[in-house]
Amino acid sequence: MSPLARSRHPHDDAPDTHDAFARLQHLDPGPERDAVREDLVREWLPMAQRLAGKFRNRGAETEDLYQVAAMGLIKAVDRYEAAQGAFEAYAVPTITGELKRHFRDHLWAVHVPRRVQELRRKVREARRDLLAAQPNEPTIAELAAHCGLGEDDVRDGLEALQSFRALSLDAESRTGGSAGDADGSALADRLGTPDSGFERIVDREAVKPAIEALPERECRILHMRFFEDMTQRQIAEELGISQMHVSRLITSTCTRIRNQALADHRTAA
């Protein structure tokens, strides 16, 4: 049997520990004080777990919530002074604050401003109240009227309700808000991909003056080779020259363009 008094307050998980706290505050650090402290934590742990249970179904594991609540309880036991009033009145906001901080710091998938978090809370509570009184999902206007917010604020709050966890890129994409709007594709299918053309813009601009200065035949050869995708043999037949000559012209022309572009770059730098 615990040495703590077993009389109870209105909550079954709120033991009468006034004498134990008075004793704790007069004990010096050591085994005896540690034992009393552990008894106090053990006695109040059911209350901490009850408070943690109020945060279920919000994206956090139950065991994690119990651990966070227990840490809040330990802080409350260590910081409580009898002059502050009943321990329960001091411990409840301390434990609840730890749980809320846990959600804010560890469970939001994106950073959400405190104002939006508050909107989320109001919208969630309004939605819960309205669903208890009606079978259908409440509209934006109904939510706004119930919690005294503007419709834009309600939309921000609803958006924040989905911000605890980021969706997997493999999640099914939806064109609307209902399950019937799923189109069978994954979210990743809607993401853009790097356009390699942008990487070549600077290079094209760098070689543009040198290309414009080329003799007509060399310019035509480059166009046939790199824009019309013709082989050296096809170019040779088109121009009536040997394939080896085409190869030498392409090599020398490209080298000249490259050297000119590098020279212009060094001059500009």
Which residues is 172 bridged to in the sheet? 186
Based on the fold, state whether residues 23 and 103 are members of the same structural domain: yes
pLDDT tens digits for range 237-257: 999 999 999 999 999 999 988
Crossing angle of helices 196-212 and 243-268, rounded to 10°: 100
The predicted model scores a pTM of 0.41
Task: Give the range of the structural domain holding residue 139, as residue numbers without chain letter.
Answer: 108-166
Based on the fold, state whether residues 204 and 255 are members of the same structural domain: yes
| Domain presence at residue 131 | yes
Based on the fold, state whether residues 78 and 147 are members of the same structural domain: no
- Say if CB 60 and CB 45 are below 8 A apart: no
What is the reported pLDDT for 118? Answer: 83
| Domain presence at residue 206 | yes
Based on the fold, state whether residues 135 and 119 are members of the same structural domain: yes
**Boundary residue ending a domain (71, 92, 107):** 107
What is the C-alpha separation between 184 and 187, in angstroms, rounded?
A: 10
229: three-class secondary structure by DSSP? coil
> Lowest-confidence range among 51-55, 99-103, 184-188?
184-188
236: three-class secondary structure by DSSP? helix
Chain-centroid distance, C-alpha 239? 61
- Say if CB 69 and CB 95 are below 8 A apart: yes
Task: Count CA atoms within 13 Å of residue 188 on its CB side.
Answer: 4
- Say if CB 41 and CB 24 are below 8 A apart: no
Residue of 155, 138, 142, 165 lying closest to 57 (CA atoms): 165
Q: What is the CATH number of the domain that holds 161?
A: 1.10.10
Based on the fold, state whether residues 207 and 219 are members of the same structural domain: yes
| Domain presence at residue 12 | no
| Domain presence at residue 171 | no
Q: What percent of the chain has pLDDT over 70?
A: 75
Task: Please classify residue 85 by burial: count the beta carbons closer than 10 Å to its beta carbon, then call 0-12 exposed, 13-18 middle and 19+ buried.
Answer: exposed
Based on the fold, state whether residues 62 and 48 are members of the same structural domain: yes
The first and second tokens of residue 3, run together, are: 């040495």
Task: Count CA atoms within 13 Å of residue 211 on its CB side.
Answer: 14
- Say if CB 182 and CB 171 are below 8 A apart: no
At 3, is the pLDDT very low, low, confident or very high (cuts 50, 70, 90)? very low
Give the CA distances from residue 193 to residues 172, 174, 189, 198, 204, in Å, rounded to whole numbers and listed in that order. 19, 20, 10, 12, 21
Based on the fold, state whether residues 92 and 117 are members of the same structural domain: no
Based on the fold, state whether residues 24 and 61 are members of the same structural domain: yes
Residue of 47, 45, 49 lying closest to 64 (CA atoms): 49
**Boundary residue ending a domain (71, 86, 107):** 107
Q: What is the CATH number of the domain that holds 75?
A: 1.10.1740.10
Based on the fold, state whether residues 103 and 119 are members of the same structural domain: no
Q: What is the CATH number of the domain that holds 256?
A: 1.10.10.10
| Domain presence at residue 153 | yes
pLDDT tens digits for range 92-124: 999 998 888 887 666 555 556 678 778 888 888
The amino acid occupying position 239 is: L
Based on the fold, state whether residues 90 and 146 are members of the same structural domain: no
| Domain presence at residue 2 | no
Answer whether residue 4 shows pLDDT above 60: no
**Boundary residue ending a domain (107, 126, 156):** 107
Based on the fold, state whether residues 22 and 102 are members of the same structural domain: yes
> What residue spans of the chain are helical by DSSP H?
18-25, 31-53, 62-79, 87-102, 114-133, 140-147, 151-161, 196-212, 216-226, 232-239, 243-268
The amino acid occupying position 200 is: R
What is the C-alpha separation between 18 and 80, in angstroms, rounded?
A: 11
Based on the fold, state whether residues 139 and 58 are members of the same structural domain: no
- The total number of structural domains that make up the chain: 3
| Domain presence at residue 172 | no
| Domain presence at residue 27 | yes
pLDDT tens digits for range 20-47: 888 888 888 899 999 999 999 999 999 9
